Amino acid sequence: MNKVLIIGAGGVGTVVAHKCAQNSDVFNEIVIASRTKSKCDAIAKAIGKSNITTDQVDADHVDQLVALFKKHKPDIVINVALPYQDLTIMDACLECGVNYLDTANYEPIDEAHFEYSWQWAYRERFEKAGLTAILGCGFDPGVSGVFTAYAAKHHFGEMEYLDIVDCNAGNHGKAFATNFNPEINIREITQKGRYYENGKWIETEPQEIHQPLTYPNIGPRESYLLYHEELESLVINYPSIKRARFWMTFGQEYLTHLRVIQNIGMASIEPIMYEGREIVPIQFLKAVLPNPQELGTNYHGETSIGCRISGKDKEGKDLTYYIYNNCSHEESYKETGTQAVNYTTGVPAMIGAMMFLTGKWVTPGVHNVEEFDPDPFMEQLNKQGLPWHEEFNGDLEL
């Protein structure tokens, strides 16, 4: 009997729970635990299956996590709470002998800075304990790394240029809303941009570099260079890469709101005193912005995320390659009650846990997704609602 523990009951947690429940031959028992138990209960009720139970936990506290793990004895925990909880959950996994998977790398709450070093430092301890930790298994990071591993395994002798391109061409009808947790999202995109070239990291001002890129079934959209965490592991795992960049689309309206939010200090993570109590402006902002989970009702259009890679094929000839998935907000909502950004994150998290539980991705230690065999994962993407497409020797525009 396999048991999975899902921590976090937000937009992504909702999708993970739905998809695990659809695959009950692998996920025989499902526990959903989060800070606010009523949110877990609402997800369990919407799914309506008897193999789902719920619980409460504050995942900032290792002792509470240890008690939760001892009570439920899961085989693997899927961490879809916030990046702030990654290390406490990994600590509890080590203490209780539980395997681990997440979708975002650790970020300290008081410093808008993310990198893998904090989690890679757990490698030896997971290895010694015989436990597998799978890092960054959403779409990007996640499928972006699996796509790259698939390209390397089947098509390229040497990958030279990698561009991960992420377009959300959906329209939710709101003046300003983020597609996943607003605090994490705004922290990410207001940081300086960064890309890798010839062995060095090059820093840019936020949104300094941009150009229109054409997305399948969508058309041209202005795309902005951002730093994104999977670049850090991909350039290490594929040393032939000369340049690696990440691009994301934003509308003008979104960028204008973002600029105003920053200019008036609402994106700040520094605590301030307000009427005798300490508040963090960005956390207050999160409380007044639309809840990304509830954007689904009127969300139209699709996302398109993929990898554009060029280099030499297995015979040494020039090759350009584009692999991508398009995902519809409407279809995601019909299936899980939430929009495509949550869907494209939650489905791969479920597949990663499925890979572990079916013995395909079991390697003690702490690993990024591209270190595992991409083939069984790619097969499941097609079956679980995220079909992918390839284009050979087209114009990558980059």
Kindly list the residues in this chain that would bind ligand NDP in the complex (CB under 6 A). Answer: 8-13, 34-36, 39, 57-60, 80-83, 85, 103-104, 138-142, 180-181, 184, 292-293, 345
Instruction: State how far the alpha carbon of 198 is from the alpha carbons of 41, 335, 398, in Å.
Output: 50, 44, 16
What is the C-alpha separation between 134 and 362, in angstroms, rounded? 9
Contact 102, 230 (CB under 8 A): no
Cis omega (within 30 of 0) on the bond before 83? no
DSSP for 196-233?
EETTEEEEE-TT-SEEEEEETTTEEEEEEEE--THHHH
Position with the least CB separation from ligand NDP: 10
Q: Which is nearer to ligand NDP, 156 or 302 (CB)?
A: 302
Residue 41 or 197: the one with the smaller Cβ distance to ligand NDP is 41
Kindly state the tokens that stand for 271. 């605590």
Helix H or strand E encompassing 369: none
SS3 76: strand
CB of 381 to ligand NDP, least distance (A): 13
CB of 377 to ligand NDP, least distance (A): 14
CA distances for 99 relative to 64, 117, 177, 237, 326, angstroms: 17, 19, 34, 23, 31
DSSP string, 324-367: EEEEEHHHHHHHHSS-HHHHHHHHHHHHHHHHHHTTSS--SEEE
| Shortest reach from residue 205's CB to ligand NDP, in Å | 23
| Integer CA distances (angstroms), 25 to 5, 9, 126, in order | 16, 22, 27
Report whether 265 contacts 283 (CB < 8 A).
no
CB of 315 to ligand NDP, least distance (A): 34
State the nearest-atom distance from the C-beta of 133 to ligand NDP, in Å. 15
Q: In the Cβ-directed half-sphere of 4, how many Cα atoms lie within 13 Å?
A: 34
Q: Residue 318 CB, nearest distance to ligand NDP (Å)?
A: 31
How near is the Cβ of 146 to ligand NDP at its closest, in Å? 12
Residue 34 CB, nearest distance to ligand NDP (Å)? 4
Give the H or E element holding residue 100. Answer: strand 99-102
Q: Name the token pair of 341.
A: 């950004």
Provide the β-strand partners of residue 304: 167, 326
Strand partners, 194: 203
Q: Are 60 and 88 in contact (CB under 8 A)?
A: yes
